[in-house]
Amino acid sequence: MKSDNSLASLILRVSLSGMMLTHGYGKFIRLISGETQFANPLGIGELPSLILAVFAEFVCSILLIVGYKTKWAAIPPAIVMMVATFIIHWEDPWRRKEFALLYLVGYIAIFLLGPGKYSLDWRLKKS
């Protein structure tokens, strides 16, 4: 018998993305207020780095909470968490890397689980 992981997907999407939204919101406010000083870990510039972080942490979090384009929306925050873990916090002690790794694993799980039936993706597919 195939199990339905829809409730697990909903809990993971909403909780993980709700927590990430708090990080993305601060960056979003900085961006719209014109304060664009930001880390440049990939060498693409502070403003592009900030815009990508806002997209991944704020916009994609909202998409994941409602379950819209779920698999695609899980990729940008996973990439940001890889950068946070393996570039920004590489030299830091384990406790600094751990949070980014936990988020990374969560986004990978969301990608693999998919949206589940408690999502906008599911509703649109049924229409």
pLDDT of residue 2: 62
Packing angle, helices 6-32 and 94-113, rounded to 10: 120
pTM of this structure: 0.91
Does residue 58 fall inside a structural domain? yes
Task: Name the band, by pLDDT with cuts 50, 70 and 90, for residue 107.
Answer: very high
Does residue 71 fall inside a structural domain? yes
Look up residue 27 and give its two tokens: 């960056």
Q: Residues 13-53: pLDDT tens digits?
A: 999 999 999 999 999 999 999 999 999 999 999 999 999 99
Does residue 90 fall inside a structural domain? yes
Does residue 53 fall inside a structural domain? yes
How many domains would you assign to the chain? Answer: 1
pLDDT at 1 over 60: no
Look-up of token digits 């979003």: 28
